[in-house]
Amino acid sequence: MSRQNWQIDALLMLGFGTGLYTFFKGFRVYREYRVLEDTPEVPIRSVAMGLVHVHGTATGKMTLTGPVSHSPCFFYKVDIEKWERDHNRSGWRHYRTDTNAVRFYLEDSTGRVLVDSRLAEYDLVRSGRREVGDSGFSLRRLLAGRRNPRASESGATEQELRDYVASGGFGQVVRSFPELTMTGGGAQTPGVIGEVFAYARTIGFGSVDAALGRFRFTEYCIVPGESYTITGTCVENLHPEDEHDRNLIVKGESEPTFLISWKEEKQIESGLRWRALLYIFGGAAMAVVCLYLFIVLVRLGWI
């Protein structure tokens, strides 16, 4: 078998496997669509234990700082890509994804409920995108995507973003919490926090050498004052502030559906329905075509 035939064989097998994976993933998305469709939206005051579907405004006392936009938020996800060249080809490749979250309240006219957004599936407005290592003009950066109108105009500097890459996002996690920030000498910092900063230094925090190259940062946030639709599992809040703070929405153990979206209910359901159809029929078509081509090439003796 020649090298070229071997490559064709591998590509067809990869396409067949990808098609099957996409096909079965479509059924998982369809199940999520049916769960959302069968779970009616209720006022927050009426939530009960189990799977709930609510809509309201994000509020809370403690916030984080978005690493890219410097916007206050309750959750951020930063997708980091690095520009790489390989065999005369170049492009953006995934480098790392960082997330951080604090609990927040979802509030409507009837009440509020505490939300722990960790482990959710997120459908959020992009709050910022930056590139470092390329000072040239980029039309894509000028026109790309929808920005959150509440995002801060004073975003991170290039050096801050390079430090962020070098620290593995660790330094930003520490700086996100004011109570973890040094106020003077190390003696004023609690022992555990001192160890945190010491560890950050050992992994190369602030080392430009660890962040050489061209990087692109895309940030998504849950921000105060914005409306969100949440489908998740309501459990008992073990540390309530008062008698009206006894519920907590999390990712359930028996029901994995946990979605936080900036869209309205009908938009979410429509998007999931079309995505499920695309995955199911697109994946099936890819698998069938790759299998058919493989059989034909085998019969022709090309593989």
Model confidence pLDDT, tens digit, residues 105-156: 999 999 999 999 999 999 999 999 999 986 444 444 444 444 444 444 568 8
CB neighbourhood size of 81 (10 A): 18
Q: How far apart are CA 34 and CA 295, in angstroms?
A: 37
Kindly give the interhelix angle for 3-38 and 265-300, rounded to the nearest 10 degrees.
150
Cα distances (Å, whole numbers) of residue 26 to 20, 22, 66:
10, 6, 33
pLDDT score of 89: 79
| Cα pseudo-dihedral 266, 271, 276, 278, rounded to 10 | 140
Tally the C-alpha atoms within 13 A of residue 133's C-alpha that lie toward its C-beta.
16
pLDDT score of 229: 95
Q: What is the pLDDT of residues 46-58, one digit of tens each?
A: 999 999 999 999 9
pLDDT score of 144: 43
Q: What is the pLDDT of residues 5-44, one digit of tens each?
A: 677 888 889 999 999 999 999 998 898 888 888 888 999 9
pLDDT band at 204 (very low <50, low <70, confident <90, very high): very low
pLDDT band at 213 (very low <50, low <70, confident <90, very high): confident
Phi, psi angles (nearest 5°) of residue 85: -115, 140
- What is the percent of the chain with per-residue pLDDT over 90, rounded to a whole number? 52
121 CB burial (10 A radius; 0-12, 13-18, 19+): middle
pLDDT score of 187: 38
The yes-or-no verdict on residue 63 having pLDDT over 60 is: yes
- How many residues belong to the chain? 303
How many Å is the maximal CA-CA distance in the chain?
A: 77
Q: Which of 13, 6, 17, 14 is nearest to 303 (CA)?
A: 6
Lookup: tokens for 242? 């008062």
pLDDT band at 206 (very low <50, low <70, confident <90, very high): very low
pLDDT score of 188: 40
pLDDT score of 208: 47
The reported pTM is: 0.71
Interval 247-267 mean pLDDT: 90
Q: How far apart are CA 200 and CA 168, in angstroms?
A: 9
- What is the percent of the chain with per-residue pLDDT over 70, rounded to a whole number? 77
Q: Which of 83, 79, 78, 65 is nearest to 211 (CA)?
A: 83
The yes-or-no verdict on residue 216 having pLDDT over 80 is: yes
Strands 104-108 and 111-115: antiparallel
Lowest mean pLDDT among 133-142, 221-230, 241-250, 292-301: 133-142
Highest mean pLDDT among 29-43, 207-221, 246-260: 246-260
pLDDT score of 170: 58
Q: How far apart are CA 103 and CA 224, in angstroms?
A: 12
Which of 245-271 are b and which e, b meaning 16 or more Cβ less than 10 Å from the residue's Cβ?
eebbbbbbeeeebbbbbbbebeebbee
Lowest mean pLDDT among 57-66, 123-132, 168-177, 191-200: 191-200
What is the secondary structure of 41-78 as a DSSP string? ---GGG--SEEEEEEEEEE-S--EE-TTT--EESEEEE
